[in-house]
Amino acid sequence: MNKAQLVEAVAEKMGSRQQAADAVDHVLDAILRAVVAGERVSVTGFGAFEKVDRPARYARNPQTGERVRVKKTSVPRFRPGQGFKDLVSGAKKLPKGSEVAVKKAPKGSLTGGAASAATAKKAAAKKAAPKKPAKAMKSLA
């Protein structure tokens, strides 16, 4: 599937081809800008895009066998999420046409920044809070 085919697939769901093209362009642009800035872009159920720095090293020229110095560089990396892996391996079935294969992001995860960190801390504190002891039953004697 190329970009034009992706736009067509999105247009079937959104109605307008122009809106679909704009949506695809904006999503790809946002991912590119974030990764170039060194941020990690994680899409729940799909995967994560990140920038990885490769150190300088020595390599061999396969034709001559000569040792060649390779400069340090940065490259993009995509790591598929578990849901994506399960669908590709066949462990899970792909939902029918109208259902969305990628899960929705957890509530509050789209706010970003300090707000999501505060929400995560509250959720962790709530899980770690001890449960109230059960009331003892009075004996009927």
Which residues on adjacent β-strands are paired with residue 49? 41, 78
Q: How many Cβ atoms sit within 10 Å of the Cβ of residue 52?
A: 10
Per-residue pLDDT at 118: 47
Average pLDDT (22-35) is: 95
Report pLDDT digits (tens) over 91-127.
888 877 666 666 666 676 665 554 444 444 555 554 4
Whole-model pTM? Answer: 0.64
Per-residue pLDDT, 102: 67
**HEC sequence for the chain:** CCHHHHHHHHHHHHCCHHHHHHHHHHHHHHHHHHHHCCCCEEECCCEEEEEEEECCEEEECCCCCCEEEECCEEEEEEEECHHHHHHHHCCCCCCCCCCCCCCCCCCCCCCCHHHHHHHHHHHHHHHHCCCCCCCCCCCCC
pLDDT of 46-98, one tens digit each? 999 999 999 999 999 999 999 999 999 999 999 999 989 999 998 888 877 66
Domain boundaries, the chain: 1-37, 49-94
Tokens of 24: 């695809």
Angle between helices 3-14 and 17-36 (to 10 degrees): 120
